[in-house]
Amino acid sequence: MIRRSVRLLASAIAVLSVAVSSASAAADWPQFLGPTRDGQSSSTALDAVPKEGWPLRWKAAVGEGFSGPIVVSNSVYLFHRSEGQEVLSAYHVTDGSLRWKHALPTSYSAQFGGTEGPSATPAADHQRVFALGASGKLRALSATEGRLLWQVDCAERFGAEPGFFGFGSSPLLLGDQLIVQVGGPEACVVAFAVSDGRVLWKAGTDEAGYGSPVPRTRAGQQEVLCCAGLLALDPANGAERARFPWRARMHASVNAASPIAVGDGVFMTSSYGVGAVLLKPDGKTLRPAWSGDESLSSHFATPVLVNGFLYGFHGRQESGPDFRCIEASSGKVGWSLERAGSGSVLAAGRKLLLLMESGEVRVLEANPEKPVEKGRFQAGSSGARALPALALGRFFFRDRAHLLCLEISR
């Protein structure tokens, strides 16, 4: 009886350990658009927003860039530019103290305005951190000490150009692969081995947009949706499964919103007069179910999908976009907050978390009938264009000069 009780206790501890480990992993924000690469968080802590806002836990001075923070275990990583170097920094989650930093000199110079810092958000697991610089240098570092493990100059290796605003598509960490939209005559999309940077496969010769690759499963098969127009690839070997031409008609433009899987279809959105489209599979091709510039034309931020409705920013950043809700299946506009301003949006259950470029935080219900605001407060300064992170009961974001951590739940 005693031995049986011990065995039961051991089993219970093992199950609990797995559950705690899984919950911990789910609480991370390890790459652009979060753990599921769709701007969704499992947090349930947004129900109540104090009038004075969430308290500031810590703040750290940082350099320039539009690269967002990521969170893995006890570390927050930020990629930024300071004193002519692109710096990948690791901070302690609890107090913002610097764990390590790795700096590489950069000669990148912005030709069309905007930041000279990196725009691509890093990706990380518990062993490595990966970052793509504005000039195309891809690096892998040890997560524990910031030691350089391998490096690839994508501009030199694949003949890729930095585009109008530098290399800015965020790498996708998918198992033992790091999938990067390089964009060039030798390769549009490249899969690297995370262990040593070996090229596993290459696909396409299209120019890469600033949106980032997104994984999804369709008809029992995994595929990666890339922003070169739309390019659907088999992650096992890079084989092309489908493509659809989709980008702004104006070449000097930013096509920055990532694809969104909607059932077996794909939603794409851009500004500069091209608008949005819902693509549905028709055999081996993709055909528009609806399209137009009147539903949801997102300049920078990727919308989020909640229960069949898309929530996102509509219009050019410099013109004061609306924030609106549309029905994904039809493109019909449910409601619109006019001239709301530019920002980013995350979803946490039935709540929407907006970080405005002004540094204001707004929390709304994901309500397709009408906009219902749960709270708003000024969280930081202006220049908060990078996508934030929601992890470990905290909200991490950067404004023009600081990385900030706010306490959501205690």
Nearest CA among 370, 374, 369 for reference residue 351: 374
**In this structure, what token pair is assigned to residue 8?**
């039961």
What count of residues does the chain have?
A: 410
- Sign of the Cα torsion 219, 326, 165, 252 reads positive
Count CB neighbours of 141 within 10 A: 24
Residue 78, C-beta contacts closer than 8 angstroms, at least 6 positions apart: 62, 67, 69, 88, 89, 91, 398, 403
Question: Whole-angstrom Cα distance, residue 374 to residue 353?
Answer: 10
Does 251 or 245 have the greater pLDDT score?
A: 245
Domain borders along the chain are: 25-407
Q: How confident is the model at residue 13 (pLDDT cuts 50, 70, 90)?
A: very low
Residue 242 near residue 286 (C-beta atoms within 8 A): yes
Cβ(101)–Cβ(136) under 8 Å?
no
Q: Would the pTM count as exceeding 0.75?
A: yes
Q: Indicate whether 22 pLDDT > 50.
A: no
pLDDT band of residue 113 (cuts 50, 70, 90) is low
**Per-residue tokens: 45:** 């802590």
pLDDT of residue 401 exceeding 80, the answer is yes
Q: How far is CA 21 from CA 41, 78, 129, 401, in A?
A: 17, 24, 20, 34
Confidence of residue 253 (pLDDT cuts 50, 70, 90): low
| Position 3 pLDDT exceeds 50 | no
**Contact status, residue 317 vs residue 302, Cβ threshold 8 Å:** no
| Other Cβ atoms within 10 Å of 294 Cβ, number | 11
Cα maximum dimension of the chain: 76
In this prediction, residue 228 carries a pLDDT of: 76
Q: Who's near 287: CB < 8 A, 6+ residues apart?
A: 279, 280
User: What are the DSSP calls for 313-344, one per residue?
Assistant: EEB-GGG--EEEEEETTT--EEEEETT--SEE
The pLDDT of residue 317: 80
Q: Taking 60 as the threshold, does the pLDDT of residue 2 lie above it? A: no
Region 353-375 average pLDDT: 96
What was the pLDDT predicted at 248?
A: 66
Write down the architecture of domain 25-407 according to CATH: 7 Propeller (2.130)
Is 252 a residue whose pLDDT tops 50?
Answer: yes
Partners of 87 in the β-ladder:
80, 103
Q: Per-residue pLDDT averaged across 205-212, rounded?
A: 84
Cα 204 to Cα 192, 239, 241: the distances in Å are: 15, 9, 12
Q: How far apart are CA 70 and CA 367, in angstroms?
A: 28
Q: What's the CA gap between 142 and 198, in Å, rounded?
A: 17
